[in-house]
């Protein structure tokens, strides 16, 4: 009978180290979940998160901002609308050479307040942010 040693995470080759600098704002507070969501998609794709830009193959900056657009009342329900803009900047190494930069914009809406409308937009925008980053650094 042949026994195989279990594959450990250390034996799986990584795709490289990434330093992630991610900041996102709603209309009144920082949305820290975006960092965790983007970090999760990077690690799921085989990248290792670096503690500093100096230790990374890639430096990725994601900055999200939210603007209030309008509120509309239908009967007894008020809907709040926001626009979230996520700026993605990707550099090789420690901010050494910018290889990609873009803005992704999405409108959000919710019936409680502007912050929840922003969260709606961030939640739907996160897969696009991850896909954009992975498309740029996975070649």
pLDDT at site 66: 96
Token couple for 138: 């996975």
| Domains of the chain from N-terminus onward | 16-137 (3.30.160.150)
| pLDDT score for 95 | 72
Q: For residues 122 and 97, give the distance between their C-alpha atoms in angstroms, rounded to a whole number.
A: 28
Torsion of CA 98, 102, 108, 113, to 10 degrees: 40
Query: Helix 33-44 and helix 114-137: axis angle, to 10°?
Result: 30
**For position 1, what pLDDT does the model report?**
55
Q: What pLDDT is stored for residue 15 in this prediction?
A: 86
Give the pLDDT of the chain (139 residues) as one tens digit per residue: 555 444 444 444 468 999 999 999 999 999 999 999 999 999 999 999 999 999 999 999 999 999 999 999 999 999 999 999 999 999 998 777 899 999 999 999 999 999 999 999 999 999 999 999 999 998 7
Q: Are strands 77-92 and 17-24 parallel, antiparallel or unpaired?
A: unpaired
């Amino acid at each position: 009978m042949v026994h195989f040693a279990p594959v450990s995470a250390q034996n799986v080759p990584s795709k490289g180290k990434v330093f992630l600098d991610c900041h996102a704002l709603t209309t009144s507070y920082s949305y820290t979940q975006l960092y965790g969501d983007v970090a999760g998609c990077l690690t799921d794709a085989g990248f290792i998160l670096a503690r500093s830009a100096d230790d990374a193959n890639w430096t990725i900056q994601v900055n999200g901002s939210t603007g209030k657009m309008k509120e509309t009342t239908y009967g007894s329900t008020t809907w709040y609308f926001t626009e979230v803009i996520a700026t993605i900047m990707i550099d090789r190494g420690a901010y050494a050479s910018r290889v990609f930069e873009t803005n992704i914009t999405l409108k959000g809406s919710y019936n409680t307040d502007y912050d929840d409308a922003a969260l709606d937009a961030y939640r739907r925008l996160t897969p696009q942010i991850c896909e954009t980053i992975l498309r740029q650094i996975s070649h």
